[in-house]
Each structure stands twice: as C-alpha cells, then as structure tokens.
Structure 1
Amino acid sequence: MTTLLDAVREGRTDDIRPLLARLDRGGRKAALEELKALRKEARGWRWDERTRVRKAILVAGAGCHTGAAGCATWLGARDMRDWVHSPYPWVLEVLGDREPDWLADLARRLAARAVESDAEYRLVEELARRAGCPLPVSDGMVRAWAERVNSARWHGGSGKPLLDVLRADARLDVLVPHLLTMPELPSVVAWVDSGSPADYWPAALTALVAEGRLDRAALLDGCTARLLRGGKPTDLRFCLLVVRGLAPTAEEEAARVADWMAMAADGPSPVAGHAQEVLARLDARGALSVRQLAEVSGGVLFRTEKKLVRAQLIHLGKVLRREPSAADELLPVIADAFGHPDTDAQERALKLAARALPAASPEVRAEAAQMASLLAPVHREAARAVFGELLEDVPGTAAYEEILPPPPAPRPLGPPAASMAELTEEVTAVLLRSDQEDVSAFERALDGLVRQAHSGREELITALEPALAGQWWAKAPRDDVDRRMLRGGDGLHLVAASLLGRISRRAVHDGQTRGEAKGTCCHAALDAIVYARLWEAAAVVGAGTLPYLLATPTWHTGAIDAPELVERLRGYGELGVKAGPVDFAQALLRVRRTGEEEAAERAAALGTAEGDRLAEWLRADQPVATVLPQHVETDVPVARDWLRQTVTTVRRVLLSTDGNRLVQQRFPRTFHWLGSPHAPLNHRCYHWFVESPHWTAVLPEDGETLAAWLLPTVASCVDEQRGTTWLLPALAETGGPAAGAIHLALAYGLGARDAEDRLSAVDALLVLAARGRLDAELLGGELAQLIQRDSVKPGRLADAARTAAGTGAYRTVLSFLVPVLPALLARERAPRGLSDLLAVAAECAERCGPPKTGPVPGLAETAARGGTTQLVRQAIRLETVCRAGTG
C-alpha cells in the first residue's frame, strides 16, 4: 500500500495497475482511506501539482472501490472531472478484472450522473461494450452524443453532411428516442438555419425514417408529445419541422386528434396554427365529429391571435354550408366570439351567426341573442337586424359611467413601537430585508432606534445584541466594517452597528463630514441625502442626544403634516435640544406646504431658529427646483460597440430645472445639488441599477421636480432598458402640481418597449385620473411629440391604451388619444400601429360617447379613402361615432 501511495503522490499513473494487483480486498479498502485524505490535502496545492496528482488519485481510487455505487460516486465527483487530457483509459485498465454485471452497473450509474464531456461519454460507452449490455441512456449522455456528432461533422475542417454522420452511428436508434423526452433539446440539435434547413437535424431525422433506420411511429409520437407539452420556441420549431417532414398519413393524424385539439386551444401560436390546419384536414375527411369541432372551436375563438380566430370562423362557415344541421352545436360557440376583444372577429362571428340562425332550434337562437349584449356598440344595429325580436328581452344599454380606481388613500405611519420587544422585532425585520424597500417600516425602525437610544440605551443594546449577532458587521473586524460602511453604507445596518459599537467614532465622524454627493446625477444626490441622514442618526444613537427624529413621515408617501412638525419643534424647544441639520433639512423637504399659513404662524411663534426657518419655508410654498417648461432635445447614447469604438445615440425630449437660492444658502452641503440648476445636456449617470423607493420619500411634495430629474432614466424604457418605469405610480401619489415633467414621464412609460413597464405607466395614469390630476390634453400633446420624433411607437401606445380602457376608463383613454391622432392622420404614409390606435379610440368612443373636443382633424379624409384596410375601417368606425355626436 505504501508503494501505491508513493506512486500516486508522484503521479506515476502507469504503475498503478500492477501495484493494485498486489493488494487484496482489505488492502484496497485501507488504501482508499489514505487516498481520500490525500484527495482532500491536494485541494490546497498549486494547480499544476494538483492536476498531476489528481489523475493518479482518480485511477487508484477507482481500482480500490469494490462496489459499483462507490466507484461511480468517486469517478463522478465534481473535483475529479476537470481534465485537459482524459485519465479514463487508465481507469478502464484498473477495472479490467471486474465482472460484466459489475461493469454494467457502473455504466448505468455513471450515465445517470451529469455526463458533460465526450471523454465521459466514451467511458460509459466502453464500459457498456465490455459488459455486453445496451448503452445506458440519460440526458447527459444524449447531450454529449449530440456534441460528438457535431464535432464529427467538422472534423478536419471540411463540413460533412449531417445525414452521413448520423447514418454511420450505431447508437442512433437508442439515443434519438430519448432526445425528444429531454426537458430542453441540446442547442446543436434544436438550432436550424432557416436559409438552409436541409442539412440540419429535423431533415436528417426524417430522411433516416424514410431509410428505415428510425422508427416512424416513435419519432412522430415523441414530437407530438413535445408539442403538446410545450417548451422553448426553438424546441417547438424543431418538432414542428420533424412532424411536417414526416408528412403524417390521414390515419396517423386521425389517431392523434385529441392532441391536435389540445394544441389548437392552448399551444403557442405556431403550434396552434399547425394543429388548426391538421384539424381542418381531418374535418374535410369526415374524421372530426361536430361535437369535437365545437369543443376545439371554443378554445380557439377564446385566443387573442386574430389570424387563428379568423381562420377558425372561416372553417366554421364552411362546415355550416356543408352541414346546416350542425347549427345547434356550433351556434353557441360562434356566439361566444361576440365577446372577443377584436371587433373584426365580432363582426365575422355575427355574420356567421346570421347564417346559422335559421337552422338552429328556438332555444339555441335565444341563447345566442343573449350573447349579443357582448358585442361592441358598433355592431348593435347589425345585431338587431340579425336577431330581430329576440333582442327585445335583452336589457338595454345603461348610461355610461366612467370606472376609475379609488384614489389611493394616504396611510398613516402609526405611533412608535410601544415596547423594546416590539422595536427589536421591527428593526430585525427591516435588517433581514436586504433591499429595505418598505419605506414606512424603515422610517419607523429608524425613529424607534433614536427614541430608545435616548430613553434606555443600555436596555436597547441588551435586546438587540443577541437578535443581530448573525449580521456580517457583528462578526467582522471593526476596520473592515468601517471601510465597507464608508464606501457605500448599508442602510439601517449602519445605525444598528453604530449603536452596538461595531463602527468606530472616527468612521462616524468621517461619514458625517463627507459633504456633497459624489457624481453629477440625481440618483447619487438622492442617495447621498438618505445616507447623510443615516450617518447623522448613527452619531445620535451613539450619544443618545435626540428624543426623536423630526423627519419621520406622517404618511406612507414620506410627507409630514405641517402642524405635526411644528409640535415636534415645540418639543425640542421645551427640552432644549438642538435639531440635527440633516434631519431638519429632510423634514423641510417632506412637509406639506400648500395652504399652511396657520402652521407658519405657529412655527414663527416658537421663537426658535428652526421655527423661523419652517415658517419661511411654508410661506414661500415653492418647489425645491422649478421645472422649466421648454423641452430640451439632446442626443443620448443607448448602445456602445467597444470593438469598433462606436456609440449609437437617440434623440430625447427632456426637461431642465432652475436653481433654488434658499436651498443653496440655508441647507447643508449634501442638499446643494437639489438647489442647483440642471440641464439634461450635462446629465451623466453611471448607475447600473436606478431604483430606490426612498427617492420619492426624499421629495414627497415635489413630484414634478423629481420627475424632471428622473426623466432621462424613465425615457430609456422606450428602447434600451427594462424596469425604469417602476417609479411612475409613486410619482402619481406625490404632492405638488402634476405638470409637464410628470406627464412627459408618463408619456414615455406608455410607449415603453417592455409590456410590464407599460403596465406601471397604466397604473400611474389611472392614479392621476382618480386623483383628478391628469391633464389629458397635455399628455396627448407630449405623446404626439414623442411619436413625431419616433421615440414612442403607436403600436405600443395602443397596447397600453387598450389595457387602461379595459379597466373601464374609456373616457380617460379617449381624452388623451384624441390629441395624438391628427398629426398621425396627416402623414402621407400612415405609420405602423395607427389602425390599432384608431381601434382603441373607436371602442372608447362607442362606449363613452364622442370626444368632447369635436371632430378629429384628418379623420373624415382617412375614412373617405375607400377600401377595406384596417386603417380605413377603424377610421370609419370612429368617424361614425363622432358624426353621430354632432348630429
């Protein structure tokens, strides 16, 4: 055994087999324990030494294992599989004396583990050959095989036909069936060049079926099952190509009718379209019953894809012409399409219902008439002509009523924690949320720490130490804590660590004296204010000098009621306490200023410097920074090609802000950025993640100013970034006026590239409308300008508008769409998506009445063009409503 271990330590792999032959079962077991210790020891060696010895350890350990399970675990360990040159030939040598059943068991166990390389594939393959058993198949084996086939195609530099490589593979009939059961197909298999699909896997597999090398039924079943199961688009395209290449016979298609029906109803669009074609063929051959047709039609007509719905309605029309007696089965399904969101689909369904109505029973006709109430108003006259007296029992259309969500009610922050245990629970909960996004919980915890540090500091430390013992700063050296906290802070952790003595006094002093924010963007400036307040609180809890914070919000938005701030200052005066400069400045930014003359008088009567400043601030009632009304157009980089050293830029419409001398002169240095004039031409921002709920809490009464500063970030949603409109609903809840900046940010959001970003903008739109702060004319004008500059796509705006209208806010949506339409209608060539915008506007007008601003310029001319394009049809539809309103 000693000689074997010496050979392993020296990396003499060729000597291992004869040395192992001298050991009996007990000797191998003892050697294995030594090898395990050596394997652990080698993890700390240099890379070159570790690699040389690990090969020998692997080979010797495989030979020392007497059980196949242990040997498979040894060979499959992650730290024993990273090889430049494979050691598996030596492994096969030392296993040469094992029984075939033992080798077969080992092959099966290795195949079941993650086979990730060609060397591991060849090891399993050779073990199976020596054992005389079938090749064990697993996902890893098939992936490695697929890569092996791909390498064989390009071996030597010249590409071989894939069909020839596969045809020469003896394992083909074993591996291909498993291929279709994998969660995801290997990328080298699934990828198909649409320009030359003949030399890719789908075409090769269908050719091998034709040659008899692969089982046709198994391949067709596997692809059909995968299409039914769903998956990645590339995988589904692969299976579709195989199925189409196999060209199933009528009997094969009929045997899988239930699968086609499920695909048509629930599958992705390409899959559903193919299934729809197959079902149409089956129906033409008489292999699809009327009941089955009705069942699958119900699912297809519920889909949003216009092409699929139109094709299904056309097919139902053919069936009704061929079999009028099918009306009782098919008319209820057709009537369900009356509620489809696409008015063209509704129109087709209504015409089809008129054809089926005479052959239907009275009960079915009455049921279809009831469903006519789902039709859009544009089809009501046609519905009366179709159903006649059957519509008399249908309730009439009620007077329109706009449905908006209730205005968000401000939620009070609530009283401070009543006990030490309650505060400990609140602080721990905030610290465990690493993002600390709940502003209300954050503010309550921060104020609670300051209060209890003043009244019972030692008791607070005793309660918090065991609860926070697991935090990183409770275990790290103090110098490391100081460096990390000074580098970027860590939210409320900073204050808790200071209270528990885990930050040095020098670090707290340095954090307080940092001064102005680093960088030139608003994100850095707002974050600097948040952390300046935290550093000040860290100093306060260390000394226990303040009874409470002035800037703790009254409401969840971050706002403070002016009378409450006056009373807090009164309490400071009675206790002889001097306010913290940053805390007091933040309180001024948060206080509600409009109509607070009485509070200003009470503040002035306090006779303190802080009271006088509060009175001055309330009486000024000015925004922190005034947003200038003129748009600023600037080029913004959206993509950088580092290889070619080029930058792609787009034109942006942004806004500038004026300075505020009071903020510059009377506020701490950290706040001076807010009082400086800012133009987007000078905007520089290098933040990767621009998201913090604390920003609106810094300026809860200056949403317009905040919107102007964040506008470059929000505007990026239209072409390059996702998740930049998250702040729009919060901006809609801020105080102060909602003017150009908020409406321009909302306009960008409604035209965002990502659907989720558009949903955030829709939420903000509805909040503004519910609070009576939406200026529809202003929003429409901003949208018109952005569309004119190609920043917002009409199709994306139509999607957002349709979503908002679907909530019941039809009049709101129509009011901001109408100002957008004239410029688009005046273009010589209609922009893509204009018909969708007209369709949404028409639906809104049909439900809530014509626009109050009168006829839409250019609409009558578009409607008079003639033809059957969607643009003309939707223009006629909207023009009809407008004309009826002026009649």
Structure 2
Amino acid sequence: MSDEVWRQILRLIEGADIGALLARLHILPPARRRDVAGRVAELLAGEDHPWAFARRHALAVLVAGAASLRSAAQVAAWLSRRELRFTARLESSAADLAAAVADRPADWRRDLIGRLAARLPGPGQSWPQGMPGWDLVARLVVELGDEPPANDAFVAGWAWRQVTPTRHLATAPPGPGRPADDLYPLPVDARDPLLAAMVPRLFHADGVLAALTWEHDPSAGSVIVHRLAALAHAGAVPRKVLLDGCAGRFLRGGGASETAPFVTLWRELHPTPEEIPVLDLVRVLATGSSPLVRLAVTELRRVEEAGGIDPGLYVEAVQALAFRPEKKYVTAALQWIGRRGRLHPDGSLEALASTFCQADAVLRARAVRLAAVLAPHAGEAGVVAVRAAAPELPADLRETLAGHYGPFDVDELPEEPPSAVFAALSPSSSPPSSSPSSSSSSWIPLPSLPSSPSLVPLSPLPPLPPPIESPSGLAAAFESTGRPRTPAAYERLLAAFVELTHRDRTAVANALAIWQTTAFVRDSGGEIYPDRWLDEHPQTLLARCALAVVNPEGSRRLTRALGAEQPGPQPHLLVQRRFREVVHLLERGDTVPLLLATPTHPTGHLDPDVLIDRLERFAGAEPLANDFLQAMLRLPPHPDPALAERAGRLTSDAGKQLAARLYGGAPRPTVTCGTDQLEPHAWMRPQLHARVTPPGDCPPDLAYLFDLEPAAGYGHTIFDLAWWPWTMPSHREVVAAYLLKYLPSRMDSSDGQVGTLAAAMHGGGPVGAATAGALAIGMGHERAEQRAAAADAVLTLIARGELPAADLGRLIGELVGLNAVVLGRVTGVLDQVAAFAPAEAWQVLTEALTALLPQPGAKPRTGLADLLALATRCARTPASPAWSPKLTHLAARKGGSRTVLEARALAAALMPL
C-alpha cells in the first residue's frame, strides 16, 4: 500500500469521518486491508502517536481495525483492547462497528457474534447505562436474523438495555436507504426484534436480577416487570410464557430479593384460578421465601374457593405451612384446617401435631382446640400423630386432649438427653480432654484461637491477599480491581507502590503509563480539577499515588490546589494522612524501603517481631510518621518484654518508641456510654452516646484518636467505616464508640455498617458498654441482613468468652424503653443467639427483663410475649432476680392474652424461685 493511500486513511481517522473511512476501506483489496490493519495497530504502539491518540480517535481506530483485520478472532480481540474500550463507548458505536463488518460473509459474522458474546461481562455487575459490548452483538444478531447467543450474559445485557433511559436497535440491515434506528421510548417494546427470544430466558439466566429490580423512579418499581405485564394484557407477549416462567423461577428457590420481581410480575398478571399451577405452588410452601409463600397461600386460597384442591395436595400444603418457623404461616395452616379439616381429618391432625411444640402459647392452644374438634373424625393415623406429639404440650393442654384421645402417661416417656448445644455451652461444663485449652495470653484473634468445645458458629475473616511482586502486577491489580476495594486490597496496593518504586521507579512509571492517559479522574487541558473528593477517599488517594509516580509535577500542582486537610472522623483522618504521606513522598522523588504498618493478620493486626524486622531495614533512618503511628496502633494490646528488649537495640527514635510500647502495652483510654438527648429539642430521639478520654500518659500524636468530640463529617459510607477496625484493631471499645456516633442515624440503611461492628469484634482489646450499645443498636436495625451481622458480632464475643452480657441487656431495656429500637427485632437476634448459646442469651435476658416487664397494672409493651417465650426456652433459675415480683404480678393477671400465658410459662420454668 502506498504512503499516499495510508495518509488519506489517516486523515479520515483523525477527522472522525466514519462514513468516508468505511467507504475507502471497503473498496481496498484484502491484501491492502491487512496492510491498513498493521498500520492502525502501529498507531497505538508508535512513539509518534501516544495513548492520547487512541483517546481522541478511539471510535475511528476501532472502525478501521474492524474493517481491516482478516479473521473474526482478530476483530473480537481488537474491539476488546483496554485502551480502546475505556475511551469509546461500544453502546453508541454499535451501528458504525456493525457497518465496518457488513461486507463480511454471514458465517464470518456469526463467528464474530459468538466470540464477542463470550467476552461480555459475567453476572454480579450492574450496567444501568448499558452493558459494554452488548449493543454490537445484538445489532449483528438482528441483521442476520439469527437466534441470539445462548449465554446468560447476553440475556442480562438485554435486561439492562431495557432500563437504559433511551436505546437504539437497528431493525433493518445497514445500507443505502436504511430507515433510521427506532427509538424506543418505553422499555420492553413490542417492536423489539429480540423480545420473543429474550422473555423466556429472563426466568432462568443468572445476572438479570439487578436489572429486573432497577428503579429510576422508586415509586414506579421495576420497569421491566410492569411493561411485561402490560404487554401480556395487550396480547403482545403470551401469558402462558410469563406464568410458566414465574412458576419455574419459584421452584428454583432463593431469598426474598431473588424472587421479588417474579412475585410482582405474577401479581400484575392476575392469573385466573384455572391458570394457577397448584402443584408448583404447594411445593414452594416448605422452603420458599416469605413473600413467595404469602403469594402461594393467597393463590391456593383462590383455587380452593373456585373449586377445591386435590386432597393429597391439601395435606401436603397444610403440613408444609405448619412446619414453617413464621407464626403467620402456622396461623394460615390452622385457618385452612379450620375450614377443610373435617374433609381430611388424618392429614390435618398430622399437621396440627407438628405445631404442639410451637413456642407461641396462643398457637399451641389453638391447635389443641382444633385437634379436639377433629377427634370424632380421626382415623388411626391421626390419633397416633396426636398422641405422639402430646407430651410436648403443657399439662393443661394435655388434659384438654386427654378427654378426646385418652389419658397420656407422661412419666413412661423416655427422657430426652440434654441438647448437645446446651451441654456444650453450660457454664459448668468443661472442655473435653482432647480439646486444647485456649491460652489467656494469646492475642491472635479468632478464628486463629485454639478450638474450644463451644458450638457457636463463627464467620471467618477473609485471608490477606499475597503481596504484589512486580510493576506489571501492580498495574494489572490497580486497573482491574474496581471499587469498592477492601482495606486489605488498598493496603496491598499501597505497600506495592512504596516497595516497587524504591526498587525501580522508572519501571513502575512505565507500567502505569496506560492508566494515566485512559483512566484517571478528570482533566481539562492537561490539568486535573482539584475536587475535594480527590483528597478524601482511599480510592482517589491511591490514584494520586499513581499520578505522583507518572507525573510528579502535575501531582504537586494538584496537591497545592487542594489546600488544607478537611475535618473528619479521627480514624479516617489517619487513613487519609497515611495515603497523603505516600503521595508526598513520591512527589518529592524520595523512597523508603517499605511500609511499616502493612498488616499481617486479617483483623488488621501486625506481629511485633515483623515490625522490628521492618524497622531494622531502615538502618537507623526514621520511617514515615503516620505509617509508624498506624503500625503502633496495629500491635497486639498486651506488653511483650522479650520483644521490647530487642526493639530497644534499635538506634532510631521510632525504635525507642516501639520498645516503650512493647514494655507498657497499648494505651487504655477511658470509655463511657449512656443515653442522652444530644440536641435540646423535644422531637429529637434519645441516643446512646459514648465518650472517650485518652490516658494521661498518651503521646500527643496518638491522643487525638481517643477523643470523639472534634470528629466531624459523618456523611461517610460503609467503605470508609470498614477502615476503622483496621485502624485500631486493639481498641474494640474505642471503635464501637466511634460507630455509636454513626449507627443511630443509619437504622434504615442497607450499606452494611453493622458488618463493620461484626468485623471489629474479631480484633483485640477490652469491650464494655460502648460495644454493648453498638450491639444493641445493630440488633434493632430495620434491615434483617444488618441484624444478622449484629448476631454474628454477639456470637463472636460469646465464642471468645468476652460478651458484656449485663451491659447489653441493660442497654437493650433502656433503648426499648425510650422507643429507640423495636423490641421484636432485638428478640429475633437474641433468638438466633440462643440457638447456639442459651446460657449467654439468658444473661442478657435477665438484665433486659428488669426494665421491660411492666409494673403492676401497667400495659405490657408490644413484643414482650415473644421475649418471654424466648426467656422460657433459655431459662436458668437465678438467685433473687430483680424482676421476679413483676413477673409474678403479670402471670397472675386474669385473662388468656398471649403475654400473660408466656409470663405463666416463664414463671413455671423458674419455680421454685
């Protein structure tokens, strides 16, 4: 190919004249095209055209390569090049890219479709602006009139395209006179050529859930679900396809969030009783999520009213509901038995028998009454089931049944052995001789502690990632790991920046050159806007480390423009200062051998002997100040005189400070916690408020971390809070005090802040009232997943023998009394704890009941019955409990309310007092 022809093509690329460029390329013979492909590739590698060229002309470069390269494999690889993908949006370029390969044979384009579809992102990511690369695959499929690719990623891309505010898809192949692309103002449009193929796949493909639940307007709900229902009502989508798809998805199971869009779709379709798949809905009753079971109960009731249900399926349904842990579904089973029990007495009695062990006294009594009503109709199977389960009942209810099923000789029943869990967790039990005892001097957090006889489950912390060994490895990890990163991932990258630039700064700068021109935050005329967020979040601070390596002068200008440090929570200020310290080091062109504070344990702890080894590598030079402060905070809390003597041989000031720390142990700040009105307004809700006072001998550079009052800027996310246990892993009580300034205002948040508390409990140092207060707040969180994290934190402390049970119970009673937390939510968490540690749950309950039992004549609070039922299951006879007189008065009240029945049951369990 002559130089003149190439100069013409290059001018078209630089001018972004895509139509003329394609016209010029398509008339070239194959050999000339291959020559163009080589020249285009050289544009991205040659020194005369740096990465900035790709950034300015990405679309034209993509089109030129796609039109010139010979094989579908080459074109697929070309379209996936990182420097081009990041700078040209494939969604808006699909028409031009499809035109670039329009002259290729159909089989060649089918090969390209398969290769591009295989490169689509996998499940687990959200693409509200469209999945990268999907539009081109879809356009090629439509042009060929082929069946869409079978992989789930293509289905997920179609679903995400439906929630994109506007979308384009060609309905006719490109060429002269091609009509303009249809603009679909609504999602899931009946004109969509992929609609018929995609709808059935929505119910089976992985990765579509996030798109199905995406809401531009929360009041509108899932746009895809609503449009599918509307199209079905209009006859544009077969109702049977949608109903069968929902039923099949129900049978796959999953949590409430996984089935929610399909439950919504089912409700909007309003199936007739004849369309309802009774067998499928009966099968989901036993294990389905709560919203799904609620739907199934409603629909089965409609079928029953319309014409009845097969007797075998009726029996299966009521038995499945009776075994559910939720009271509302047991109640539904009892209601159904009340309506149809006489028609199927034996199956109904078997279901009733399974409810005799219910903790709820009202449900037990109702089940006994129904069993008595069905006794005249009972066959042998029903009688056997009732008599086998009757010993689970209290004496008064057994007497009720005895009049209908004969007397029960309870004394002849074999006594059940104590629960293994109860025995293992009993305070008087001792570890088996084969179990090693845990050392009281061991500082390493669980799960590294020696095993104990406790059966309490622990959620292990993820292991630390391996260090990064090379500049190319640093560049790959830095570019490929997206937000949000964990503290462990940030620590790994920060350590690599310091160590690798100390070895060979030029190699690191070369490895990061692509990142500088394609992925850094914002620029205009080569200057980066000095937004404050560039100086606050670890993500952008890490990006500034990279900028300081590849462009030190630009980094220094940015640092000067950002100005002074902004206030914030003190633990996070230390995180920010440590990152900035590395930025300034790299801006100066200086290096240090390594970072001192890189953790050696998943809790954020640092082994003292490792820290001494690292200081020895400084050969008497002083380390980075904030890095050394962080390293000191990550040491285990107890003194270690042997290692202190070794540290004392270091000649630097840092070595002397380390020796003093190892001789004396961690500073012990004073933490107090109580309920107060933080603002003088009647409408303000009282909150738990912790205060921290540093010890008198605390060094000034450390004291600021032990004083909560100057803290500001609490609009932080969970990704910031996740650092706090890592910043102070030997000061759990202080971390809990900081969290108490944040948790009460986030009682309805889904950002995972209680998970930070659960992670902190794996650390070291004392726990007390602040920890108990943070646990109580977490236990009262509005979201179930957050309450589960609180239960995990409580169980971690129980397994380590460190639960502040008295403080926790007292503060639960106080917070419930002030309506700061809902009792029913707290009871649910204590129920989870009691399943593994009833003795410890009882310690918490005894303190909580002191405040929560009503005074004589006062109205019991909502949710007290459930708390009393739980206390009965955990009961240990205490010595003169303060709440015993209040319990006696409550149990002696007239009537049969559930609260009174549960009070009588607890009083009976504690006799003799």
Same fold (TM over 0.5): yes
| From 413, 433, 439, the counterpart of 2:481 | 433
Look up the match of 2:613. Answer: 567
Q: Which residue of 2 aligns with 1:633?
A: 677
Does 2:523 align with 1:494?
A: no
Match for 1:800 among 829, 854, 859? Answer: 829
Cα gap change, 1:652 to 1:368, in 2 (>3 Å): same
User: Partner letter of residue 616 of structure 2?
Assistant: R
**1:703-740 Cα deviation digits (max 9, x unpaired):** 21122122121122346786432311022122210112
The 1-side partners of 2:488 and 2:733 are apart by 22
1:535 maps to 2:580: yes
> 1:651 Cα deviation (Å)?
2.1
Summarize the Cα distance change of 1:630–1:290 in structure 2 as closer, same or farther, 3 Å threshold: closer
**Pair 1:458-2:506 in alignment:** yes
Amino acid at match of 1:528: L
Cα deviation 1:396-451 (Å, max 9, x = unaligned): 4546233543567788758744x42xx64356335533335332232233223322
Q: CA deviation at 1:600?
A: 2.7
Give the partner amino acid of 1:842. T
Q: Tell me, in whole angstroms, the C-alpha distance in 2 between the residues paired with 1:379 and 1:492.
A: 68
Q: Deviations over 1:99-126 (max 9, x none)?
A: xxxxxxx9xx98xx74659xx99xx9xx
Task: Give secondary structure in 1 for the equivalent of 2:645.
Answer: helix
AA aligned to 2:693 is: D
> Residue 911 of structure 2 aligns to a residue in which SS?
helix
Deviations, residues 360-400 of structure 1 (Å, cap 9, x unaligned): 77677667777789989999999998775998579645462
Q: Distance in 2 between matches of 1:706 and 1:457?
A: 37
Give the structure 1 partner of residue 904 of structure 2: 876
* Alpha-carbon distance between aligned partners in 1 of 2:616 and 2:398, rounded to the nearest angstrom: 67
1:790 to 819, 832, 855: 819
Pick the aligned partner of 1:306 from 324, 327, 330.
Answer: 327
Counting only pairs closer than 5 Å after superposition, residues 392-471 of structure 1 correspond to structure 2 as 392=413, 396-398=417-419, 400-401=422-423, 402=425, 404-405=455-456, 413=464, 416-417=467-468, 419-420=469-470, 424-425=472-473, 428-465=476-513, 470-471=518-519
**SS of match in other structure, 1:472:** coil
2:691 match: secondary structure: strand
SS state at 1:883 partner:
coil
Distance 1:657 1:722 in 2: 26
Q: Distance in 2 between matches of 1:726 and 1:485?
A: 25
Tell me if the contact between 1:703 and 1:737 (Cα under 8 Å) persists in the aligned partners: yes
Q: CA deviation at 1:780?
A: 0.6
The 1:722–1:821 alpha-carbon spacing in structure 2 relative to 1, beyond 3 Å, is farther
Residue 553 (structure 1) aligns with: 599
State whether residues 430 and 441 of structure 1, in contact with CA within 8 Å, keep that contact through their aligned partners in structure 2.
no
- Superposed CA offset, 1:189-241 (max 9, x none): 99xxxxxxxxxxxxxx9xxxxxxxx99xx99999999999986998888888x
CA deviation string 1:44-88 (max 9, x = no partner): xxxxxxxxxxxxxxxxxxxxxxxxx99xxxxxx99xx99xxxxxx
The SS at the match of 1:709 is helix
The correspondence for 1:732, drawn from 736, 761, 780, is 761
Change (3 A) 1:335 1:548: same
Q: Which moved more, 1:389-398 or 1:616-625?
A: 389-398
Q: Which has the larger radius of gyration?
A: 1
Q: Deviations over 1:511-547 (max 9, x none)?
A: 9x966x412x41xx33332222122223445635311
Shift of 1:498: 2.0
Counterparts in 2 of 1:481 and 1:582: CA distance versus 1, 3 Å:
farther
**Residue matched to 2:644:** 600
Check conservation: 1:261, 1:275, Cα contact below 8 A.
Answer: no
Question: Is the counterpart of residue 578 in structure 1 residue 609 in structure 2?
Answer: no
**d(CA) in 1 for partners of 2:460 and 2:275?**
59
Which residue, 789, 800, 804 being the options, matches 1:771?
A: 800
- Partners in 2 of 1:877 and 1:464 — Cα distance? 70
Q: Following TM superposition, by how much is the alpha carbon of 1:819 offset from its aligned partner in structure 2, in angstroms?
A: 0.9
Distance 2:853 2:656 in 1: 57
Cα 1:510–1:486 change in 2 (3 A) is farther
Q: Which runs of 5+ in 2 are unaligned?
A: 1-141, 144-160, 167-178, 197-221, 251-259, 426-453
CA distance in 2, matches of 1:446, 1:379: 67
Q: Identify the residue that residue 817 of structure 1 maps to in structure 2.
A: 845
CA contact (8 A) 2:457 2:795 kept: no
In the alignment, the residues of structure 2 paired with residue 406 and residue 225 of structure 1 have an alpha-carbon distance, to the nearest angstrom, of 38
Task: State whether structure 2 residue 737 is matched by structure 1 residue 708.
Answer: yes
Output the CA distance in 2 between the equivalents of 1:343 and 1:442. 53
What SS does the corresponding residue of 1:650 show, helix, strand or coil? coil
* Post-superposition offset of 1:840: 1.9
TM-score, structure 1 length as denominator?
0.62
Contact 1:227 1:239 in 2 (8 A): no
Residue of structure 1 in register with 2:660 after alignment: 616
Aligned twin of 2:865? 835
Q: Superposed, which structure 2 residues align to 1:858-873 within 5 Å?
A: 858-873=886-901
Residue correspondence of structure 1 range 126-165 to structure 2 within 5 A? none
Tell me how far apart the structure 1 counterparts of residues 766 and 396 of structure 2 sit (CA, whole Å). Answer: 39
Q: In the alignment, what sits opposite 1:144?
A: none
The aligned runs of 1:610-759 (5 Å cut-off) are 610-623=654-667, 625-628=669-672, 632-635=676-679, 649-659=684-694, 665=700, 667=701, 673-674=704-705, 677-679=707-709, 685-687=714-716, 691-718=720-747, 723-759=752-788
- Contact 1:411/1:556 (CA < 8 Å) preserved in 2? yes
| 1:749, distance to aligned residue in structure 2 (A) | 0.9
| Shift in CA distance, 880/476, structure 1 to aligned 2, threshold 3 Å | farther
Mapping of 1:140-289 within 5 angstroms?
A: 184-185=225-226, 271=295, 274-275=298-299, 277-278=301-302, 281=305, 287-289=308-310
CA 412–236 in structure 1, closer or farther in 2 if over 3 Å, else same: closer
CA distance in structure 2 between the aligned counterparts of 1:427 and 1:405, rounded to whole angstroms: 42
8 A contact 2:285–2:296 mirrored in 1: yes
Q: 1:714 to 1:649 in 2, by over 3 A?
A: same
User: Whose helix fraction is larger, Structure 1's or Structure 2's?
Assistant: 1
Partners in 2 of 1:433 and 1:380 — Cα distance? 63
8 Å CA contact 1:717, 1:748 repeated in 2: no
Q: Contact between 1:779 and 1:816, CA under 8 Å: does it hold in 2?
A: yes
